[in-house]
Structure 1
Amino acid sequence: MITLRLNHQQHDFLQSVGDIGDLVRAALQSSAAVPPSRSNPVSRTPVSAHTSFSRTPVAAHVLEPGTGKAVEVRAGQIFRVTQIEGHQCVDLNVFALGDRRERLHCGRTRGMQGRHPGPGDVLWSNAPWERPIMAIIGGTATTDTQFPFCSRLIYSAFFGRAGRTNCQEIQNEAQREYGLDPWDIHESLNLFMHTATGPDGEPVIRRNVARPGDYIEFVALLDVLVVPNVCGDDLTNCSNFGMRPVRVTVEEGRPADLAEAGSAVQRSVVLGLPDRHEVPGARPLRRDPTYEADFPYLPLRPADVRVEVAPDLIDRFHRARNTDLYGDDEDAALRDLTMSWAIERLGAFAGNA
């Protein structure tokens, strides 16, 4: 016997594809035909080099799976997102506290800083402001500006499952604390998302390589509302077929932090920014003191499945499981193997069920 550890929405999805036991056995049977799927290593600075700071803490939150949090970050303060268990993608929205109409613009950021902004780059706001609003000053995270947030549309169109956790609805609920409406959401900066270029030049999402303690930190260049959310995708390799908590913190910046942020701005504009003009009709953001969080599709309930498999399939699993990525975590390795196999063969398997 082997146990496939799922949450209830993963269980419901697999059940819609076919018999879960048959899926597991078929995935294990096919696993011997290909070498083990290994993680794609990325260059990262050792986490231990960045974990001791003499900054003054301002706020700290642990974001549980399926949730997000709107966090005020004043100019000069540090906003940091840290992996707790690893492998978790985080969507990030940013709004100017002084005017909700100004917010992060991923397209302008991509155009100015490239597809994967990192330490030494800045985040840009939308027109007509078009200015740096946060600077990345450190971290070990991969980032992405190409892929839009997951939504009911994505899960309905590609998986036939609309009523489930998704970044769009998580973000909508988190930003509601400050009176932001669903149409205020913008394309997210994807933190800890590992993307690459496919064989035909198309962007593709690779397995998540984030480890416990990996992080990214920003300096706010103006007063902003930062709204991170734990990506609601547990059906793909974006977060390695799971959802896990992450930690966010706000700290007072040190002179060295502000100097790094200033250098990032100078590098990004090279020859200077255009003259700024005031935009009339500012709409400041303020917290609703009566707000109570009400994230949809929670709680996520465990829905483990015990599957009878032959000894030779257990042996195949131990040879094929991704130890580079999951180490001794056999539960995560089996879930990855089964979910990825089922999704790759979704149409064919469903047609034969």
Structure 2
Amino acid sequence: MSSAIPEPDDAAARRAVSPVRCYPVSALPQVDWNDLGRALETLRPVAAVTVPPRDGRAIEVPRGHILRISCTEGSQVGDLNLFARDDLAEHFYSGKTRALHGSHLDVGDRLWSGFPYLRPMALIVADTLGWYGIDADGGAVHDVIGTRCDPYTGRLLGGTDYHRCCHSNLTRALADATGLPLREAEMHVHDVLNVFMCTGFSRTDGSYFMKASPARAGDHLDLLAEIDLLAVLSTCPGGDCSTEHSSDAAPCHPLRMEVLAPEPAIDWPEPTPVPYDRSHGR
């Protein structure tokens, strides 16, 4: 719908104002890539799980270990939740991660936990799709702008019930990993890192779009656990998300989660939560 209000005389000048980055990030904790790079040269697998198509699985990742998410058979998108292993209340905060690092993540970016913790949970240390960049449509991979496909939006927009969407897959996987009832586990499922998904915002109307993932068999994303993690991953029912999601129509493939131990071991210091005294705001 177009606006009926005419542009003011200074419309061009208003649009030409230079942008300001909301969060200067120079104060964020820095990474010694020399020491880390040497530690990552040899990785030894210690645990693994395959996530079947249209399903979810969980795996524990000790601090200082690598979580590798891999396409094993073909292009496939995954939705990732992260929790502190011993405290589900501390989980990945996609919105603050987006504000600090941008709409799509790459090597060197961190995945941050929510309030009242706000500390790095994981650091991206390798990405075989790092070459992709931003394409002509404004699309890029590994986004933190999408929420996750879910049965509630499906019911709202299409009047249908679909139970193999990522929200449902994550709920079942978290319940299986923790022993929580499904209803209670669902309350902990949160917005995701869309692994391998290619997304952006339309230049014409600002709408969120997806397009075929550039991932192929053998592509992987590596995350260094900065705290002890419980990682929960769903294989999106949209497959490579080139056409649709929340249906059984798209070809889907498994994803693999591996826990890799660097040799020698990384003595990674556990980051502390932001020391804000919440009583001051009451």
Could you give the per-residue CA deviations for residues 141-175 of structure 1, whole angstroms, max 9, x where no partner exists?
42011111111123333444313421111111000
Could you give the per-residue CA deviations for residues 269-301 of structure 1, whole angstroms, max 9, x where no partner exists?
xxx9843779xxxxxxxxxxxxxxxxxxxxxxx
Taking structure 1 as reference, are residues 154 and 243 closer, same or farther at Cα in structure 2, changes over 3 Å only? Answer: farther
Could you give the per-residue CA deviations for residues 163-198 of structure 1, whole angstroms, max 9, x where no partner exists?
342111111100012145111111111101101221
Partner SS state of residue 193, structure 1: strand
Taking structure 1 as reference, are residues 157 and 130 closer, same or farther at Cα in structure 2, changes over 3 Å only? Answer: same
Please say if 1:146 is aligned against 2:142: no
Q: How does 1:51-90 map to 2 (within 5 A)?
A: 54-90=42-78
Taking structure 1 as reference, are residues 57 and 158 closer, same or farther at Cα in structure 2, changes over 3 Å only? Answer: same
Residue 275 of structure 1 is matched in structure 2 by: 275
RMSD of aligned C-alpha atoms? 2.8
Please say if 1:253 is aligned against 2:258: no
Higher helix share: 1
Q: Distance in 1 between matches of 2:198 and 2:108?
A: 19
Give the alignment partner of residue 210 of structure 1, picking from 215, 232, 247: 215
Cα deviation for residue 200 of structure 1 reads 2.2
Segment of structure 1 superposing worse, 220-229 or 192-201: 192-201
TM-score scaled to structure 2, two decimals?
A: 0.69
Taking structure 1 as reference, are residues 78 and 187 closer, same or farther at Cα in structure 2, changes over 3 Å only? Answer: same
Whether the aligned pair in 2 keeps the contact of 1:170 and 1:232 (CA below 8 Å) is: no
Higher strand share: 2
Amino acid at match of 2:261: E
Partner SS state of residue 70, structure 1: strand
Residue 114 of structure 2 is matched in structure 1 by: 126
Q: How does 1:1-353 map to 2 (within 5 A)?
A: 54-141=42-129, 142-176=141-175, 177-180=177-180, 181-198=185-202, 199-233=204-238, 237=243, 241-254=250-263, 274-275=274-275
Q: Distance in 2 between matches of 1:221 and 1:241?
A: 35
Amino acid at match of 1:237: T
Taking structure 1 as reference, are residues 133 and 101 closer, same or farther at Cα in structure 2, changes over 3 Å only? Answer: same
Amino acid at match of 2:205: D
Whether the aligned pair in 2 keeps the contact of 1:193 and 1:238 (CA below 8 Å) is: no
Q: Distance in 2 between matches of 1:104 and 1:127?
A: 10
Cα deviation for residue 128 of structure 1 reads 0.5
Q: Distance in 2 between matches of 1:208 and 1:193?
A: 5
Could you give the per-residue CA deviations for residues 215-234 of structure 1, whole angstroms, max 9, x where no partner exists?
10100001110111111236
Say which one has the larger Rg: 1
Q: 4+ residue stretches of structure 1 with deviation over 6 A?
A: none
Amino acid at match of 2:68: R
Taking structure 1 as reference, are residues 123 and 254 closer, same or farther at Cα in structure 2, changes over 3 Å only? Answer: farther
TM-score scaled to structure 1, two decimals?
A: 0.56
Q: Distance in 2 between matches of 1:232 and 1:68?
A: 11
Taking structure 1 as reference, are residues 249 and 53 closer, same or farther at Cα in structure 2, changes over 3 Å only? Answer: farther
Q: Distance in 1 between matches of 2:277 and 2:225?
A: 21
Whether the aligned pair in 2 keeps the contact of 1:149 and 1:168 (CA below 8 Å) is: yes
Amino acid at match of 1:206: K
Cα deviation for residue 86 of structure 1 reads 2.5
Whether the aligned pair in 1 keeps the contact of 2:49 and 2:59 (CA below 8 Å) is: no
Amino acid at match of 1:241: A
In structure 1, list runs of 5 or more residues that go unmatched: 1-51, 266-271, 279-353
Whether the aligned pair in 2 keeps the contact of 1:86 and 1:214 (CA below 8 Å) is: no
Identical counterparts, % of pairs: 30
Taking structure 1 as reference, are residues 112 and 238 closer, same or farther at Cα in structure 2, changes over 3 Å only? Answer: farther
Amino acid at match of 2:80: L
Whether the aligned pair in 1 keeps the contact of 2:118 and 2:274 (CA below 8 Å) is: no
Q: Distance in 2 between matches of 1:238 and 1:58?
A: 35
Cα deviation for residue 236 of structure 1 reads 5.7
